[in-house]
Amino acid sequence: MISGGAGYIGTHTAVELVGAGFGVVIIDDFSNSDAAAVEGVRRITGVDVPFEQVDTCNEEALRAVFRKYEFDSVIHFAAFKAVGESVSEPLKYYRNNLASFMNICALMREFGRPNILFSSSATVYGEPDALPVTEQSPRQPATSPYGNTKQMAEDILRDCCAAYDGLRGIALRYFNPVGAHPSALIGELPRGVPQNLVPYITQTAAGIRECLSVFGSDYPTPDGTCLRDYIDIVDLARAHVAAVKRMTGGRMKAGYEIFNVGTGRPVSVLELVEGFEKANGLKLNYKIVGRRAGDVPAVWADTDLANRELGWKAERSLEETLRSAWAWEKHVRGME
């Protein structure tokens, strides 16, 4: 069962799971997505993937889903994710992101379902003392309620796995997910002005935004712009398949594990912009402006543990990824 399965990462994960032979049920409340996303999953897979419109915070409605479907694993994506909004509306974030996850954990226990995969984030590392970050790198105090909900949910999962017999948990810490499915039938669809770099770039290329602002060029990095680890969305989705297989295939006893999901390759904002221009043969209108509050200069993943234990590795090139991002934007805008 995939909660938040109509979202950006959820849809891509559903496609890869179906492709790997898993039966999947998607639930979503459509608070940040719509039925077209589920249709995209069905079109790509050719499978009439079951869907239930349910708010994961509604325990009774969620219980009905547990009664109706016999899944043994949950991937929990359903959450709000706008960092800035979480600062102005902390209760909205704590209530939604934590209540929903506690409902999932409680119902897994109630129904004796063993496997929980939680969607965490590299945001838990804050501004790291050493790079790349390993799963042992200390978590830093969260700088936003959003980041705090990721840390708190990780702890909830860890404690539940320690306390409740037979419960297995994996937290995947994503770096920066980008790109879209090669079919261009699913992808990231931010509502309003995009906060993240790649959707802002593709919307600028499409003429919806006038100009990309590059936030800061005076960071202590080779070209002065921030370094991030941009992970292709299909590669990221496949990490979930590997993690589910680990939980269902007898390789993991009870307990709790954490894996970084990134490429291990730092890329600057300017490199990403230039990579986008080159991959798609176009020029992007951009200007350098001041730093954005809260940005860390650099963070990228040590991926050894995931490579070794999950038998998973990022495969798509940045060029392919940035081509897929543009193909998706053109599809959404009817530009083909």
Q: Which residues are catalytic?
A: 146
Which amino acid is located at 124 in the chain? V
On whether the CB atoms of residues 175 and 233 are closer than 8 A, the answer is: no
**Least gap, CB of 259 to ligand UFG (angstroms):** 16
Geometric angle at alpha carbon 11, from 235 and 336, rounded to 5° = 85
- The mark string for 138-157 relative to ligand UFG (x by CB under 6 A, - otherwise) is ---------x----------
| Nearest approach, Cβ of residue 56 and ligand UFG (Å) | 19
Which residue among 17, 25, 171, 269 contacts ligand UFG (CB under 6 A)?
269
Q: Which amino acid is at 99?
A: A
79 touching ligand UFG, by CB under 6 A: no
Q: Rule CB under 6 A: is residue 295 a binding residue for ligand UFG?
A: yes
Q: Identify which of residues 56 and 176 has a Cβ nearer to ligand UFG in the complex.
A: 176
Of all residues in this chain, which one has the CB nearest to ligand UFG in the complex?
226
Give every CB contact of residue 99 below 8 A, 6+ residues apart in sequence: 57
- Please return the burial class of 233, using the count of CB atoms within 10 Å of its CB with bins 0-12, 13-18 and 19+: buried
Single out the segment in contact with ligand UFG by CB under 6 A; choices: 17-25, 38-46, 85-93, 189-197. 189-197
CA atoms within 13 A on the CB side of 22: 27
Instruction: State yes or no: residue 85 binds ligand UFG (CB under 6 A).
Output: no
Is 228 a binder of ligand UFG (CB under 6 A)?
yes
Q: Which is nearer to ligand UFG, 45 or 196 (CB)?
A: 196
226 contacts ligand UFG (rule: CB under 6 A):
yes
Q: How far is the CB of 80 from ligand UFG (least distance, A)?
A: 10
The Cα diameter of the chain in Å comes to 56
Give the DSSP letter string of 64-124. Answer: HHHHH---SEEEE------HHHHHH-HHHHIIIIIHHHHHHHHHHHHTT--EEEEEEEGGG
Per rule CB under 6 A, is residue 292 in the interface with ligand UFG? Answer: yes
Report which DSSP code applies to 309: I
Name which position in 26, 184, 185, 197 contacts ligand UFG (CB under 6 A): 197
* Distance in Å from the first CA to the final CA of the chain: 34
Number of residues this chain uses to bind ligand UFG (CB under 6 A): 20
- Closest to ligand UFG by CB, 213 vs 307, is 213
**Interaction pattern, residues 88-117, with ligand UFG; x per rule: CB under 6 A:** ------------------------------
Asked whether the beta carbons of 300 and 132 are under 8 A apart, the reply is: yes
- Alpha-carbon distance 303 to 175, whole Å? 11
Question: Which of 56, 8, 57 has the alpha carbon at shortest distance from 28?
Answer: 56
The CA distance from 237 to 242, in Å, is: 9
Least distance between ligand UFG and beta carbon 171 (Å): 14
Q: Are the C-beta atoms of residues 33 and 51 closer than 8 Å to each other?
A: no
Q: Which is nearer to ligand UFG, 253 or 283 (CB)?
A: 283
**Minimum distance, C-beta of residue 274 to ligand UFG, in the bound complex (Å):** 13
Nearer to ligand UFG, 114 or 179 (CB): 179
Q: Which of 214, 234, 237, 310 binds ligand UFG (CB under 6 A)?
A: 214
* Min separation Cβ 104 and ligand UFG, Å: 20
Count of alpha carbons within 13 Å of 185, Cβ hemisphere only? Answer: 15
Q: What is the closest distance, in whole angstroms, from the C-beta atom of residue 163 to ligand UFG in the complex? A: 28
Which residue ranges make up the site for ligand UFG (CB under 6 A)? 81, 83, 121-123, 147, 176, 195-197, 200, 212-215, 226, 228, 269, 292, 295
